[in-house]
């Protein structure tokens, strides 16, 4: 008959790696005997208590596991690999997601990968010490300006928490988390015109806003959203510029409409990202969850619409100011007729990287990498000489200083110098 | 006999986690994870497996967070879940052949088959479905906390409710979600019978 002391002894032998083959067999049999379960559990808990000893310092490799748990009720997160970095010769493949204290940059150089690990939390290397960077561009932060209907501007980074303003039936509050929240008092007002506010982020800024209906809005740098202070109409309609991510509160009675340049997105209740920067080639709408209808403006027969499913991205060639102004009739017709392109299995991690505090590049040109950096660090990019045709890929944290990011790029053979707010790319 | 906690106030962490506070959850995970790591690593012969067991433990702490305010002995409760998960692993992976092999050949530990499916991946869809099925007011409050990180006081002010109503709703919503997961066959339900405050 197994008793408590015997169980304790066998487990101790196992833990100390002194167990004999016969004892091992006895332990295995005992584990399968359900009648012993309570005693076994009790003994295990006793060992756990006896052997509980703390070592200081957080364990970085657990961050992904912690995130997986708390993100269960949020948008789809990247699948977590086992956390090992695997390389095959010079063709590198990063198995670990860029969540933790390491920044990884992979460079695709004419077919082969180079990779390296850049520990951002590590102490400064002796080589860097002698190179004190003057005017190092700090990463962007929560900065935005709120423009009220009457033209009054409130700078949100320096505003104190609490109620900022009251407009008609709406109160605007800055929460302790930094984001902005609207509350409609008493709901529907049919009297008086609805007022519109604009929240805009500068270069180097980002901000989060909660609309009166509970819709969450995340603004990337150099972006804006114009919205009514109360959703009183048959629709909830907003206008955006730049890059904005939405998590729309469900309301079948009031569809949600977003307008970006000449593209319109109609949603019921869903999560999607719009990238409409005018210096990018196309307006991209990426759907994470739910269902949206994307319409490209024009008139009469030129209007086109596609319905997206989660994971798809709609791309529409952006109409720039010069195109709109200086086209011939023939050009205008060709452009308006250009169809909306739908991409299946869009790289959602890449699209959502900014909201998750990362830059994520996937075989893109140096110009695109630097366009994103220039918006976040608020620098102007100047190219000298020929620009490399190489493609770049990888993930970097958005909370690094510009000098740290440039150090990474320098390792790939690009030469930079920084003068004030100018980032000069040299051959 | 449960030992008194030293610097960290587990009960305070428990109350914050019950409201969905992720910083408190991370703090508890790191602290108790480190306490359980040496034993679990020795028991299973693998740090990877120990990491997974610890994740299973804290998944349960998170899903049972509506119970946290009522727990008399936080440390003992966590260690009970920990030893439970260790026991589950042992029963699955320590049959006679493996036990002997484990001690004959250390290398075998690294190659031994590990239960790769983490519960968190298996139940994610269930959790999201359960959120959809919450009653509208409950869901609204729950999502304002989960998705926007708003504190109970801020939610109360936004919706014109009392703070205690919001706090209670957060607990009930967490419970609703967990019960749906249990009904689908995940998580042991008898866990909650132990160590409840009188």
Task: Show the domains of chain A with their CATH numbers.
Answer: 4-50 (no CATH), 58-132+361-427 (3.55.50.30), 140-186+200-230 (no CATH), 234-356 (2.60.120.1440)
Task: Please name which of A282, A293, A297 lies closest in space to residue A336, comparing C-alpha atoms.
Answer: A297
Rounded mean pLDDT, A58-76: 85
Given CB atoms, is B47 within the 8 Å cutoff of chain A? no
- Ranges A18-32, A402-416, B167-181: which has the least confidence: A402-416
Enter the ipTM: 0.88
Q: Which residues of B touch A37 (CB under 8 A)?
A: 87
**A393 versus A287: which is more confidently predicted?**
A287
| Confidence tier at B188 by pLDDT (50, 70, 90) | low
- Ranges A73-87, A206-220, A346-360: which has the least confidence: A73-87
Given CB atoms, is B103 within the 8 Å cutoff of chain A? yes
- Ranges A84-98, A403-417, B132-146: which has the least confidence: A84-98
CB pairs under 8 A between A and B: 146
Do residue B83 and residue A181 have CB atoms under 8 angstroms apart?
no
First to last CA, chain A: 81
**What is the three-class DSSP state of A320?**
coil
| Confidence tier at B23 by pLDDT (50, 70, 90) | very high
Nearest by CB to A51, from B39, B58, B87: name it. B39
- Ranges A128-132, A233-237, A274-278, A296-300: which has the least confidence: A128-132
Question: Could you give the dihedral angle defined by the CA atoms of residues B75, B77, B78 and B83, in that order, rounded to the nearest 10 degrees?
Answer: 120
Nearest by CB to A44, from B87, B94, B124: name it. B87
Rounded mean pLDDT, A373-391: 89
Helix segments in chain B, DSSP class H: 10-18, 22-44, 47-63, 74-93, 96-104, 106-111, 119-132, 136-148, 152-159, 163-183
> Could you state, in order of their start, the residue ranges of all structural domains in chain B?
10-193
Q: Which of A162-171, A370-379, B32-41 has the highest mean pLDDT?
A: B32-41
Given CB atoms, is A210 within the 8 Å cutoff of chain B? yes
Residue A259 · residue A237 · CB < 8 Å: yes
Rounded mean pLDDT, A133-159: 78
Q: Which residues of B touch A73 (CB under 8 A)?
A: 127-128, 131, 146, 177
SS (H, E, C) A363-415: EEEHHHHHHHHHHHHCCEEEECCCCCCCEEEEEEECCCCHHHHHHHHHCCCCE
Q: Is the pLDDT of residue B165 over 80?
A: yes
Query: Running DSSP on this structure, what letter comes out for residue A138?
Result: P
| Confidence tier at A85 by pLDDT (50, 70, 90) | very low
Q: Which residues of B touch A45 (CB under 8 A)?
A: 79-80, 82-83
Query: Running DSSP on this structure, what letter comes out for residue A59?
Result: -
Nearest residue on chain B to A31, alpha-carbon basis: B91
Q: Is the pLDDT of residue B35 over 50?
A: yes
Rounded mean pLDDT, A327-348: 66
**What is the three-class DSSP state of A5?**
helix
Instruction: Please state, for a pLDDT cut of 70, what percent of chain A lies above it.
Output: 75
Q: Is the pLDDT of residue A298 over 70?
A: no
The residue whose two tokens read 């900014």 is A354
* Test the B interface: residue of A8, A18, A24, A186 with most B CBs within 10 Å: A24
Q: Which residues of A touch B126 (CB under 8 A)?
A: none
- Ranges A324-333, B91-100, B157-166: which has the least confidence: A324-333
Given CB atoms, is A39 within the 8 Å cutoff of chain B? no
Q: Which residues of B touch A173 (CB under 8 A)?
A: 154, 157-158
Q: Is the pLDDT of residue B76 over 60?
A: yes
| Confidence tier at B82 by pLDDT (50, 70, 90) | very high
Rounded mean pLDDT, A99-127: 29
| Confidence tier at A89 by pLDDT (50, 70, 90) | very low
| Confidence tier at A75 by pLDDT (50, 70, 90) | low
Do residue B29 and residue A247 have CB atoms under 8 angstroms apart?
no
Q: Is the pLDDT of residue B114 over 50?
A: no
- Ranges A63-67, A293-297, A318-322, B187-191: which has the least confidence: A318-322
C-alpha dihedral sign at A44, B35, B20, B154 = positive
Q: Is the pLDDT of residue A120 over 60?
A: no
- Ranges A53-67, A98-112, A163-177: which has the least confidence: A98-112
- Ranges A34-48, A152-166, A177-191, B172-186: which has the least confidence: A177-191
Given CB atoms, is A70 within the 8 Å cutoff of chain B? yes
**A67 versus B95: which is more confidently predicted?**
A67
Q: Where is A322: in which H helix or E strand? A: helix A321-326
Do residue B87 and residue A37 have CB atoms under 8 angstroms apart?
yes
Instruction: Tell me the whole-structure pTM to 2 decimals.
Output: 0.51
Q: What is the pLDDT of residue B117?
A: 65
Q: Is the pLDDT of residue A80 over 60?
A: no
Do residue B42 and residue A51 have CB atoms under 8 angstroms apart?
yes
Nearest residue on chain B to A82, alpha-carbon basis: B48
Do residue A62 and residue B158 have CB atoms under 8 angstroms apart?
no
C-alpha dihedral sign at A370, A375, A379, A381 = positive
Q: Which residues of A touch B33 (CB under 8 A)?
A: 59, 62
């Amino acid at each position: 008959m197994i008793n408590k002391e015997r169980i304790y002894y066998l487990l101790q032998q196992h833990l100390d790696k002194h167990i004999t083959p016969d004892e091992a067999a006895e332990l295995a049999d005992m584990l399968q005997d359900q009648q012993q379960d309570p005693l076994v559990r009790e003994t295990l808990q006793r060992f756990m208590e006896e052997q509980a000893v703390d070592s200081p310092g957080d364990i970085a490799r657990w961050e992904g596991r912690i995130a997986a748990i708390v993100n269960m009720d949020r948008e789809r997160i990247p699948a977590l690999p086992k956390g090992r970095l695997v390389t095959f010769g010079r063709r590198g493949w990063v198995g670990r997601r860029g969540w933790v204290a390491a920044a990884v940059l992979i460079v695709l150089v004419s077919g082969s990968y180079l990779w390296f690990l850049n520990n951002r939390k590590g102490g400064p290397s002796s080589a860097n010490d002698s190179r004190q960077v003057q005017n190092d561009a700090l990463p962007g932060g929560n900065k935005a300006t709120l423009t009220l209907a009457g033209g009054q501007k409130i700078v949100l980074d320096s505003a104190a928490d609490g109620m900022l303003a009251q407009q008609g039936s709406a109160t605007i509050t800055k929460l302790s988390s930094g984001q902005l929240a609207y509350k409609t008092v008493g709901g529907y007002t049919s009297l008086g015109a609805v007022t519109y506010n604009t929240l805009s982020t500068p270069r180097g800024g980002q901000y989060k806003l909660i609309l009166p209906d509970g819709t969450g809005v995340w603004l990337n740098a150099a972006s804006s959203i114009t919205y009514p202070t109360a959703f009183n109409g048959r629709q909830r309609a907003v206008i955006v510029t730049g890059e904005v991510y939405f998590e729309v509160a469900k309301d079948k009675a009031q569809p949600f409409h977003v307008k970006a340049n000449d593209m319109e997105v109609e949603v019921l209740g869903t999560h999607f990202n719009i990238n409409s920067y005018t210096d990018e080639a196309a307006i991209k709408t990426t759907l994470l969850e739910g269902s949206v209808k994307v319409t490209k403006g024009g008139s009469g027969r030129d209007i086109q619409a596609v319905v997206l499913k989660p994971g798809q991205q709609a791309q529409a060639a952006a109409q720039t100011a010069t195109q709109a102004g200086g086209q011939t009739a023939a050009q205008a017709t060709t452009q308006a007729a250009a169809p909306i392109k739908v991409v299946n299995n869009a790289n959602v991690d890449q699209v959502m990287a900014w909201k998750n505090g990362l830059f994520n590049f996937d075989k893109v040109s140096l110009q695109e990498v630097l366009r994103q950096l220039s918006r976040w660090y608020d620098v102007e990019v100047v190219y000298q000489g020929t620009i490399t045709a190489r493609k770049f890929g990888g993930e970097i944290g958005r909370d690094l200083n510009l000098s740290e990011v440039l150090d990474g790029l320098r390792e790939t053979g690009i030469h930079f110098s920084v003068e004030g707010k100018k980032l000069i790319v040299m051959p | 006999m449960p030992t008194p906690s030293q610097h960290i106030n587990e009960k305070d962490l428990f109350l914050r986690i019950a409201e969905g506070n992720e910083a408190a959850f991370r703090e508890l995970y790191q602290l108790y994870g480190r306490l359980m790591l040496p034993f679990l690593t020795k028991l299973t012969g693998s740090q990877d497996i120990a990491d997974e067991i610890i994740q299973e433990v804290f998944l349960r702490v998170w899903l049972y967070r509506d119970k946290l305010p009522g727990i008399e002995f936080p440390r003992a409760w966590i260690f009970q879940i920990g030893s439970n998960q260790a026991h589950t692993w042992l029963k699955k992976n320590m049959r006679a052949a493996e036990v002997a092999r484990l001690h004959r050949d250390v290398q075998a530990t690294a190659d031994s088959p590990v239960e790769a499916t983490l519960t968190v991946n298996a139940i994610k869809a269930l959790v999201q479905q359960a959120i959809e099925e919450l009653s509208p007011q409950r869901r609204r409050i729950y999502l304002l906390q989960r998705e926007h990180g708003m504190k109970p006081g801020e939610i109360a002010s936004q919706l014109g409710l009392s703070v205690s109503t919001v706090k209670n709703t957060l607990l009930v919503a967490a419970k609703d979600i967990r019960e749906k997961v249990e009904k689908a066959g995940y998580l042991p339900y008898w866990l909650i019978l132990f160590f409840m405050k009188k």
